[in-house]
Amino acid sequence: MGGERRGRGGGARRGGGGGGAGAAVVTGCSSGIGAALCGELARRGVRVFALGRDPGALRGLEAEGGAGGVVALRADVTDAQSLETAFAEAARQAPGGRIDLCVANAGVSGCGALAVQVRPPLPAPPPSFAPPAPPDRPPCAPPAGPRPPRRTAPPPPGRAASSDSGPLQEHRTVQSIFDTNVTGACATVQVAARHMLEQERQGPGGLRGVIAVTGSVTSEVCMPWAAAYCASKAAIKSLCRTSALELEPFGVRVTHLYTGAVKSKIADNALARDPLASYDAPDNPYHPYAAAIRGRARVSQGRAAWTAERYASEVATALLSPRPPREVVAGGGARALRLFARTLPERLQDWVACRRFGL
């Protein structure tokens, strides 16, 4: 089994995962890491299928595709059926019908104090997104007659009934992060693995395929003001390690992308979704920490952050090698933070985190 990869980028052989020519499927491609990976893989001769909720937003990737070319396909990682459809179409168009590499990169961030964190749900996909019902399964019709009143449990003593902008909405904040970052990644790994298990072994590594999942240093480094996001990335680390044990005997390699700071729109997207202005209200218990919370939202976009292109080059080099590693450490500060998390006592780590993030 492979170990850690600390490549310097460039110089990888052309082709799909495991060193052989083929195709790659990448999720979360609208900008940043995903878009850079699509471009880098295509330039190395890989046929890339970029999956997204709105393929129209990915047309630029198709136009800029290199020798391998980029094809945009509609898929939502929170909709398993749409993933199945997209992978089937990718396999139909791929050279030899093979999907040699899958990068599960789709993800969302979230910033704020967990106790009061609020975020509206993700925007609905385009109206044409939903596939038509199969001929033998007509859409369900609502039952005739008046709908019975919805039963709700009474609120606990001393607390008013929650509205859509209260505790229920706060729960949806956490749920939306896990739906994309964890459940969506699990679904992508499942669909990719099922396709790869039907393929023949090939290349010097004798692999049927490679699945990589974008993780984060926050899977081990606990940073305040992003509890749900850190927890989702800890789940990704466990997902990669466990699924690697299950798939390794069948020639499918699973790689965890231990990602540090990378320049992207993730901070801007997080600030657009998270109403951080609520922390300016004097009645917010976290009002004294408003500046620290805003600083946390942009912590990955500082001077130490890598460009997405540099990150993509190093990751592509590792994933296209004959024997890809089980973990790729890349991005600004990734190696230092990995050492920090695995060598220092937790109480010392917590002290450093509190000092860094204003607690």
**What whole-number percentage of the chain has pLDDT above 90?**
54
Number of other CB atoms surrounding residue 249 within 10 Å: 7
Query: Model confidence at 205, in pLDDT bands (50, 70, 90)?
Result: confident
Query: Which tens digit of pLDDT belongs to each residue from 274-292?
Result: 667 888 889 999 999 998 9
State mean pLDDT over 344-352.
Answer: 95
pLDDT of 112 > 80? The answer is: yes
CA gap 91, 39 in Å, rounded? 20
What is the DSSP secondary structure assignment for residue 325, as one 8-state letter? Answer: -
pLDDT of 59 > 90? The answer is: no
CA gap 79, 238 in Å, rounded? 22
314, 315, 318, 321 alpha-carbon torsion, rounded to 10°: -100
State mean pLDDT over 241-269.
Answer: 91
> Can you say whether residue 46 is alpha, beta or left, with left for phi > 0 and alpha for psi between -120 and 50 degrees?
beta
pLDDT of 95 > 60? The answer is: yes
Count the helices and strands in the chain (H runs, E runs). 11, 8
Query: Model confidence at 90, in pLDDT bands (50, 70, 90)?
Result: very high
What is the DSSP secondary structure assignment for residue 182, as one 8-state letter? Answer: I
pLDDT of 23 > 70? The answer is: yes
Q: What is the pTM of this model?
A: 0.80
Higher pLDDT, 173 or 133: 173
Residues 6+ away with beta carbon under 8 Å from 89: 49, 73
- What's the alpha-carbon Rg for the chain, to the nearest Å? 22
Written as six digits, the tokens of 53 are 């909720």
Predicted confidence at residue 67, as pLDDT, reads 62
Query: Which tens digit of pLDDT belongs to each residue from 141-174?
Result: 444 555 545 444 444 333 344 444 444 445 577 8
Question: What letter represents residue 71's amino acid?
Answer: V
Predicted confidence at residue 158, as pLDDT, reads 38
pLDDT of 294 > 80? The answer is: yes
